[in-house]
Amino acid sequence: MKIKQEKALKEYNSLWREIDMLWHEIARKAGVSDSAHAILFAILELGEGCLQKDICGMCSISKQTIHSSIKNLEKAGLIVFGQDSGKEKRVYLTPQGKAFARERILPSADAENQVFAEMSKQESSELLRLTELYLVRLREKINEQEKNRRKT
């Protein structure tokens, strides 16, 4: 069986994989896993004291992967947990974690922000609009296929 793809789709998938590999390389050079990099990035974005569920939502990574990676970051001395009045634990960077994030995570966050800042408002809006359109339509098709599969 061979998958037949439109040329544009092949190019899009290739670009998407290149972006994914670039982030993988950035995480590797920072000395952390992809998920750890995403978590530290999210903490910088969300602010300290954020909840694991907020990190999951921002990173679009499974709860299990986030939990496991957070435990590894805790063992490495980069984060600690604090608890609020409820059951949920809040995530904080340790002094070592703050230094690590400042040196190894913040530069890639700054680079990404600079890229968007260098785009015109029209370019960045178009990129977001088309990416969201693709995602919405792909979800619809996948859901439609699942419904049809359940019927048979």
CA–CA distance, 27 with 105 (Å, rounded to integer): 8
User: For the segment 26-65, what is each residue's pLDDT rounded down to a tens digit?
Assistant: 999 999 999 999 999 999 999 989 998 899 999 989 989 9
CA–CA distance, 124 with 37 (Å, rounded to integer): 24
Point out which residues pair with 47 in neighbouring strands: none
Task: Judge whether residue 11 has pLDDT over 80.
Answer: yes
pLDDT given for residue 92 in this prediction: 95
User: For the segment 92-151, what is each residue's pLDDT rounded down to a tens digit?
Assistant: 999 999 999 999 999 999 999 999 999 999 999 999 999 999 999 999 999 999 988 888
pLDDT given for residue 109 in this prediction: 94
Confidence of residue 1 (pLDDT cuts 50, 70, 90): low
CATH, domain range 7-118: 1.10.10.10
C-alpha closest to that of 96 among 112, 81, 80: 80
pLDDT given for residue 151 in this prediction: 83
Task: Judge whether residue 86 has pLDDT over 90.
Answer: no
Helix crossing, 34-46 with 52-59: angle to 10°?
Answer: 110
**Are 23 and 112 in contact, with CB atoms under 8 Å apart?**
no
